[in-house]
Amino acid sequence: MGVGGYLLLPWRFLVVLFSRLFLLPTGVPVRSGDATFPKAMDNVTVRQGESATLRCTVDNRVTRVAWLNRSTILYAGNDKWCLDPRVVLLTNTKTQYSIEIQNVDVYDEGPYTCSVQTDNHPKTSRVHLIVQVSPKIIEISSDISINEGSNISLTCIATGRPEPTVTWRHISPTAVGFMSEDEYLEIQGITRAQSGDYECSASNDVAAPVVRRVKVTVNYPPYISEAKSTGVAVGQKGTLQCEASAVPSAEFQWYKDDKRLIGGQKRVKVENRPFLSKLIFFNVSEHDYGNYTCVASNNLGHTNASITLFEEKTTAMTPWKAPGAVSEVNNGTSRRVGCIWLLPLLILHLLLKF
C-alpha cells in the first residue's frame, strides 16, 4: 500500500498529469535518465516508529521535481499531494529536494522515486525504504505440569523484521548452552531433573532480545531419602524422622504393628511438613520400643521404610574419689617404701658398733 492516506490516481490519469506537470506532450512516459542525475540516496533503513528522510540531489538545470511512492504522488515541488500528515517537505532548494516520513510503519516500506524535469527531459532516481521491527513474541506455551517419562512440546512464535532467531534454554545450574535453536522444543521421556523454567529468547539485532519463560513441573511418586533408627533411654524424649521427595508433595503416615499412629495423643506427636515427617515421643517407655513404618504417598504412588526405636543403655559410672583420699594412699605407700630403704642402713650401723 505504501504511505497511508495518499491520493491514489489511475495510471492513465497520472500520465496526463505528469505531461502537464513537466510540460510534456500527452502520452510521453517518464524515462530514466543517466545514473548520476538526479541522484537519490542509497537504500534507507529505519526502525518502526522512527522518521525516514528521503533526499534527492538536484542542480540549477531542474525546472520541475516530485517525490512518488510507486504510482502515488507525495509532493510536487512545494505542493503536497498526499493526505497523510506524517509526510512533510523538508528541503526544496537548487541543490536538494527532500521529504520526511514520520512515525514509520511496516506498510511504508517499498520503493520511492525522485522525478525531475530538466530541458524538457524527465529523469528519475529510486530509493528503497526498509523498515525494521523489534522482535515480539506473539505466542508461547503455557506453564505445564506433566508426569515423569512423558513427552512434551513447547512452542514460541515471534515476529519482527528481519525475522528473529528463536532459541530455547533450560534455566538450571546443570543446564549448559541452548537446548534448541528453533521455535519448537521437544523433550522425549522427561525426567524430574528436567523440571524448572524454560526460557524462550527472540532476537534480530534491531533491539534487545525479547525473553519469556515457561514453567515445567515434572510429577513423580515419592521415594524416601532418609529413615534412620534412633536409640533413646527410658524416660527421655525421642524422635523418629522420615524424609521423602515427591511431586506433588507426599503425605505421611506412621504405623506400629499395623496400627496407625495419630498425632495429638498425650505421649506421641506427629509433625508433617512437605518433605519431612517426625514421630515425637515425649517420655519414652519400654512399651514404645520396636519397629515403626513410615509411609509416604501421593497420587502417583507410595513407598515405605522401617525405622526402629531402641533402648539406649546408660553406662555405669565409677565411684568418684576425693583428691585427699588419693593423697593418703600415695603417702602411705611412700612411707612403706621409705622404711624398707632404711632397714639395711640400721643393720650396718649395729654391726660396726660391735
What is the C-alpha separation between 290 and 293, in angstroms, rounded? 10
pLDDT at 66: 95
What is the C-alpha separation between 211 and 199, in angstroms, rounded? 7
What is the C-alpha separation between 313 and 326, in angstroms, rounded? 30
What is the C-alpha separation between 155 and 144, in angstroms, rounded? 12
> What is the CATH number assigned to the segment(s) 141-220?
2.60.40.10
Report residue 85 as a C-alpha cell: 500528515
Spell out the domain ranges in the chain. Answer: 44-133, 141-220, 229-311
For residue 179, pLDDT over 90 is answered with no
Q: Are 73 and 2 in contact (CB under 8 A)?
A: no
pLDDT: which is higher, 310 or 178 = 310
**In this structure, which amino acid lies at residue 128?**
H
Residues 6 or more apart from 113 whose CB is under 8 A from it?
67, 68, 69, 124, 125, 126
Tell me what percent of the residues of the chain surpass a pLDDT of 70. 75
What is the C-alpha separation between 52 and 87, in angstroms, rounded? 10
Confidence band for 39, pLDDT divided at 50, 70 and 90: low
CA-atom Rg of the chain in angstroms: 48
Report the DSSP beta bridge partners of residue 111.
128
Residues 6 or more apart from 285 whose CB is under 8 A from it?
234, 235, 267
Q: Are 21 and 66 in contact (CB under 8 A)?
A: yes
Tell me, rounded to whole angstroms, the distance of Cα 263 from its chain centroid: 42
Fold of the domain built from segment(s) 44-133: Immunoglobulin-like (2.60.40)
E strand intervals along 162-250: 165-171, 184-187, 196-203, 210-228, 230-232, 238-247
Length of the chain counted residue by residue = 354
> What is the CATH number assigned to the segment(s) 229-311?
2.60.40.10
pLDDT at 241: 96
What is the C-alpha separation between 75 and 277, in angstroms, rounded? 81
For residue 216, pLDDT over 50 is answered with yes
**In this structure, which amino acid lies at residue 121?**
H
Is residue 346 classed as helix, strand or coil in its secondary structure? helix
Tell me what percent of the residues of the chain surpass a pLDDT of 90. 64
* Two domains, one topology: 44-133 and 141-220: yes
Q: What is the DSSP letter of 162?
A: S
What is the C-alpha separation between 216 and 193, in angstroms, rounded? 11
The dihedrals phi and psi of 236, each to the nearest 5 degrees, come to: -95, 170
pLDDT tens, position by position, 50-67:
999 999 988 888 889 999
pLDDT at 321: 44
For residue 343, pLDDT over 60 is answered with no
Q: 148 burial class (0-12, 13-18, 19+ CB within 10 angstroms)?
A: middle
Report residue 14 as a C-alpha cell: 497520472
The dihedrals phi and psi of 280, each to the nearest 5 degrees, come to: -110, 130
Residues 6 or more apart from 89 whose CB is under 8 A from it?
75, 78, 80, 98, 99
Q: What is the DSSP letter of 315?
A: P
Confidence band for 118, pLDDT divided at 50, 70 and 90: confident
The dihedrals phi and psi of 126, each to the nearest 5 degrees, come to: -115, 145
Range 231-241 average pLDDT = 94
Block residue for cell numbers 524538457? 120
For residue 352, pLDDT over 60 is answered with no
Range 314-335 average pLDDT = 44
pLDDT tens, position by position, 251-292:
999 999 889 998 767 789 999 998 999 999 999 999 999 999
What is the C-alpha separation between 295 and 116, in angstroms, rounded? 90
